[in-house]
Amino acid sequence: MFKSSVSALLLAAACAAATPAGAEEPIKVGMILEMSGPFADLGRQILNGAQAYIKAHGDTVAGRQVELIVKDTTGAAPDIAKRLAQELITNDNVDFLAGFGLTPNALAVAPLATEARKPMIIMNAATSVITTRSQYIARVSFTLSQVTAPLAAWAIKSGIKSVYTLVSDYGPGIDAETTFKKTFTAAGGKIVGEVRVPLRNPEFAPFLQRIKDAHPQAVFIFLPGSSEQPIAFMKGFAERELNKAGIRLIATGDVTEDGVLETMGDTPLGVVTTHHYSMAHVSAQNRAFLKAYAEVAGNGVRPNFMAVGGWDGMAAIYEVAAKLNGQIDGDKAMEVLKGMRIDSPRGPLVIDPETRDPIQTVYVRRVQKVNGKPYNVEFEQIPDVKDPGK
């Protein structure tokens, strides 16, 4: 047991000695991602997005090379995430901590960012509270409340007065439910029923039946993306002909995210969602992003909002490196990050100087077929949305 550790140490020492003296040290970005296990899709998308950015913009900034050190948390494992962060800081001397597909992993690492004064870039995790846990955290993704509140507002505007909510019974789901209820009822809407489904739930039949019995004008759902649940729900929704009964389906964009949209067949057509990124967004930056992504991931893989998080996270890192001339200091990096404007494939993105959360445009989209393939087509936008959770 200790033999393997000793040999590991010797190997590490040999590697350290092998670095030629005088060579410029690369800028090291420690990526803490979920690369395997049930959340493997998150890690893959984020990493692809980051690598796509490097491919499109070259791997050198301010005379230094950018190096990604990827670590696998193997899933929702905050103790492993924290240990990986510790090792990245003390052994690899990273300049940035980045990645974080899942909230618990980010929350566990936050105190380390403070202690070591390393800028921590959240590329995906969407719970409001994360950025309050350390002054060194900046988020380039989104928060659930940020995209849910506009949906409730849009619903009222479109004449939907009664809604049944169905969310997954865990942090983000409860966040979404709370935000939706608050915004919807404040604007005069009525919640006719609510249910929280267990995380490990393969069978939606009983819930769908309850919804049908309650006759709401719309159902608001939040189910974790990249799992079988959104697909199962929508299939059930179509099979039980809830749409024919006059019930509309509205949700946050996680449910119809671009990565899984194709596998859902025709069932999600017409579903209205709100989110911060759609593959169908028309802009030069998005075109560049899609092109670079296809080069990195191959033509069959569709990028989703997590990939954009990876892309924009790297953009932020490059910007910091450029502004600081390659000399990365934690406090100075945070000054650069606060208020930073990023020309994102999603649209305009600003990092709020006070909360370090993203301020961005939230789009209302409908699932439609474009050239025979399903996309989230944007038809309305609400600009400069802040995280209402703060």
Partner 1 sequence: MISSLLGVLFDGLAYGMLLFLISVGLSVTLGLMNFVNLAHGAFGMLGGYVCVIVMSRWHVPFLAALVPAFVAAALAGLVLERILYRRLYRGSHLDQVLLTIGLTFMAIAVATFLFGPQQQSLRLPEYLSGQMSVFGVDLNVYRMFLLAVGVVLTIALTLVLEYTRFGASIRASVDNPRVAEALGIRVGLVFQIAFAAGSGLAGLGGALGVEVLGLDPVFPLKYIVYFLLVVAVGGTSSLKGPLYAALLLGVVDVAGKYYIPQVGAFIIYAMMVILLILRPQGLVSRP
Partner 2 sequence: MSDARGISPARLSWVEIVFWVVLASGFWLWPKHLALASQVLIAGLFVLSYDLILGYAGILSLGHAAYFGLGAYAAGLLAQHGWGEPISGLIVAGACAGVAGLLTGFLVVRGQDLTRLMVTTAIGLLLFELANRLSSVTGGVDGLLGIDMAPLLGAFRFDMYGRTAYGYCLAVTFVLFLGARRVVHSPFGWSLRGMRDNPGRMLALGYPVPRRLIAVYTLSAAMAGVAGALLAQTTQFVSIDVLSFNRSAEALVMLIVGGAGVLYGGLIGAAVFTLAYHYLSSLNPVYWQFWLGAFLVAIVLLGGGGVLGACQRVYRMLQDRRRQTASQA
Structure tokens at 237: 């929704």
Q: How far is the CB of 258 from partner 1 (least distance, A)?
A: 12
Q: Which of 10, 25, 58, 79 binds partner 2 (CB under 8 A)?
A: 79
Place of tokens 């928060």: 143
Distance CA 289, CA 291 (A): 5
Asked if 263 is part of the footprint of partner 2 (rule: CB under 8 A), the reply reads no
CB 252 within 8 A of CB 176: yes
Distance CA 334, CA 319 (A): 12
Q: Which does 206 bind (CB under 5 to 8 A by kind): partner 1, partner 2, none?
A: partner 1
Q: Which does 213 bind (CB under 5 to 8 A by kind): partner 1, partner 2, none?
A: partner 1
Length of the chain: 390
Q: How far is the CB of 257 from partner 2 (least distance, A)?
A: 20
Asked if 330 is part of the footprint of partner 2 (rule: CB under 8 A), the reply reads no
Binding mask 105-134 for partner 2 (x = CB under 8 A): --xx--xx--xx----------x-x---x-
Nearer to partner 2, 122 or 367 (CB): 122
Beta bridge pairs of residue 56: none
Give Cα 342 distance to the centre of its chain.
16
Q: Packing angle between helix 305-323 and helix 284-297, nearest 10 degrees?
A: 100
Place of tokens 């299939």: 235
Q: Which does 87 bind (CB under 5 to 8 A by kind): partner 2, partner 1, none?
A: partner 2
Nearer to partner 1, 20 or 300 (CB): 300
Asked if 298 is part of the footprint of partner 2 (rule: CB under 8 A), the reply reads no
Q: How far is the CB of 362 from partner 2 (least distance, A)?
A: 23
Residues that bind partner 1 (CB under 8 A): 36-38, 40-41, 44, 195-198, 200-203, 205-207, 209-210, 212-213, 226-228, 231-232, 235, 239-241, 259-260, 263-265, 301
Q: How far is the CB of 9 from partner 1 (least distance, A)?
A: 28
Nearer to partner 2, 40 or 192 (CB): 40
Distance CA 167, CA 36 (A): 25
DSSP 105-133: HHHHHHHHHHHHT--EEESS---GGGGGS
Asked if 29 is part of the footprint of partner 2 (rule: CB under 8 A), the reply reads no
**Residues 141-200 interacting with partner 2 (rule: CB under 8 A):** 169-171, 174, 198-199
Of the candidates 28, 161, 151, 22, which has an alpha carbon nearest to the alpha carbon of residue 90?
Answer: 28
Q: How far is the CB of 239 from partner 1 (least distance, A)?
A: 5
2, containing H or E segment: helix 2-18
Nearer to partner 2, 229 or 267 (CB): 229
DSSP 227-288: SSHHHHHHHHHHHTTTTTTT-EEEEETTTT-HHHHGGGTTTTTT-EEEES--TT--SHHHHH
Q: How far is the CB of 263 from partner 1 (least distance, A)?
A: 5
Q: How far is the CB of 208 from partner 2 (least distance, A)?
A: 22
Beta bridge pairs of residue 65: 60
Contacts of 114 (CB under 8 A, 6+ apart): 134, 135, 136
Nearer to partner 1, 168 or 278 (CB): 168
Residues that bind partner 2 (CB under 8 A): 1-2, 4-6, 8-9, 12, 33, 35-36, 40, 43-44, 70-72, 74, 76-80, 82-83, 86-87, 89-91, 103-104, 107-108, 111-112, 115-116, 127, 129, 133, 169-171, 174, 198-199
